[in-house]
A = this chain, B = another copy of it.
Amino acid sequence: MNLKKLSEILGLSQTTVSRALNGYPEVNEDTRIRVQAAADKHGYRPNSRAKGLATGRSMVIGHVIPTSSQHEMVNPIFGDFVAGAARTYAQNNYDMMFTHTPDTSVEDSYRRLFNRGVVDGIVLQGPKVIEPRISALSQMGVPFIVHGRSTCADVPYDWIDVNNQRSFERATQFLIDLGHRRIALINGLEEMDFARRRRNGYMAAMTNAGIEVDPDLLRSAEMTEIYGHQTACDMLKLDDPPTAILASSIISAVGVRRALEERGLKMGRDISVIAHDDELSYMRNGMDVPIFTATRSSVRHAGELAAEMLIDRINAPDDPPKTRLLEAELVVGSSTGPVPQRS
């Protein structure tokens, strides 16, 4: 069933039928009702390709799956972010399109998506400290939004981000206030912008308190459970092990906890742990009582907001760039405590 057939059935022109269905004013109310009824009856659905061709809009937003090239992993926060975004899209009649590309040709795949007229806008996830994709997208004139920021971007752009620096500075300060000096940071990949900012926050607090940072207590990698576990194991073997650990993800924090438990150490008593909690739906940080003391910020909510901002941008391409900085909350659980006295 297409427009032509439908209009023949109704004995009307395609123009009128099209207008009736799209709510244009220059059509008789009776006719509109009649058309609508016929459309429903015959299950007419406008072909979105044809519509897109005619209007120049596709009502599709493009995402490029952020696989870390090195390990071909899909970050679990991806799922929750997307779920948030999808919710907003659905409300605004957008669909979402995914492309998967080797890291090497990511920029090219954005270009392809947009130039081919597949999408009306693009969400850029997981920006790195140096992020050529941003200026590329900017030059192409695609509406886009970045989830996160890139320190080294030289053009203005829309972004939504958590105040990573501030939240990690606060978390570190919190540990320092509890008397900790040997504080480890189990961070995400250094090339990722968020990881850089978190480290800066950590550094700022440490420096501010006059504590020297021990490079042995700084580690960065893909934030898996295994990595958290391995790193914690390594650090606990040090002559002067950390008394507190800051983990960049609740996933790796789970790994840290496993390492501690293998050694019979109790979190909060023998060693303190703070995690960053993205409020992943399947891995919540406890119920009423948090499992980990954590810096908390819902990535799902960020997804919703990002989608809203992008749709705004599509509708108003010439507005000045908009940015949004979310503050993470510090929730205190039982995984932190005063530094234990040396026996």
Q: Is the interface of A mostly helix, strand, loop or mixed?
A: mixed
A139 to nearest B CB, angstroms? Answer: 12
Give complex CA distance A72, B301 in Å. Answer: 13
Q: Are B46 and A67 closer than 8 Å at their CB atoms?
A: no
Q: What are the residues of chain B within 8 A of A47 when measuring CB–CB?
A: 53, 116-117
Partner of A89, one of B79, B100, B112, B116: B100
Contact A116:B45 (CB < 8 A) given known A90-B99, A280-B76:
yes
Which interface class (under 10, 10 to 19, 20 to 34, 35 or more) fits A?
35 or more
Q: Indicate with 1 or 0, residue by residue over A262-300, a CB within 8 angstroms of chain B CB atoms.
A: 000000000000000000111110110001000000000
In A108-144, which residues have CB < 8 Å from any B CB? Answer: 111-113, 115-118
User: What residues of B have a CB within 8 angstroms of the CB of A113 in the complex?
Assistant: 95
Q: Are B115 and A281 in contact (CB under 8 A)?
A: no
A87 CB–B CB distance under 8 Å: yes
Partner among B78, B83, B99 whose Cβ is within 8 Å of the Cβ of A67: B83
Distance in angstroms between the alpha carbons of A16 and B37 in the assembled complex: 45
A224 CB-CB contact with B under 8 Å? yes
| Structural contact, A282 and B82, CB atoms closer than 8 A | no
- 4 smallest CB-CB distances across A and B, nearest first, come from A86-B100, A73-B281, A74-B79, A74-B83
* Chain A residues with a Cβ under 8 A of chain B: 43, 45-50, 52-53, 58, 60, 65, 67, 71-76, 78-80, 82-83, 86-87, 89-90, 95-101, 111-113, 115-118, 222-226, 230, 251, 254, 257-258, 261, 280-284, 286-287, 291
